[in-house]
């Protein structure tokens, strides 16, 4: 799965998700390509929960 947010990609990488490659999307925006395995799915849910909590605390 392509992740365009570098803070999110950094989080996923540091949590052990497997990076498959890098590239550029539309408008030359860089992305990190991850293997969308079970670990990735679990860590994406964790990321979404972290972002939700941050929004609530603003």
Range of the domain at 19: 2-56
How many CB atoms are closer than 10 A to CB 44?
Answer: 19
Q: What pLDDT sits at residue 58?
A: 67
Three-state DSSP class for residue 30: strand
Query: How many residues belong to the chain?
Result: 58
Query: What separation in angstroms does the CA of 1 have from each of 20, 21, 25, 31, 51?
Result: 9, 10, 12, 10, 19
Q: What pLDDT sits at residue 57?
A: 86
Q: What pLDDT sits at residue 45?
A: 97
- Count how many domains the chain has: 1
Q: What pLDDT sits at residue 42?
A: 98
Strand partners, 19: 34
Average pLDDT, integer, range 10-39 = 97
């Amino acid at each position: 799965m392509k992740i365009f947010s570098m803070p999110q990609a950094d989080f996923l990488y540091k949590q052990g998700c497997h990076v498959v490659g890098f590239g550029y999307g539309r408008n030359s925006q860089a992305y990190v390509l991850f293997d969308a395995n079970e670990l990735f799915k679990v860590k994406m849910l964790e990321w979404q929960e972290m972002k939700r909590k941050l929004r609530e605390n603003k």
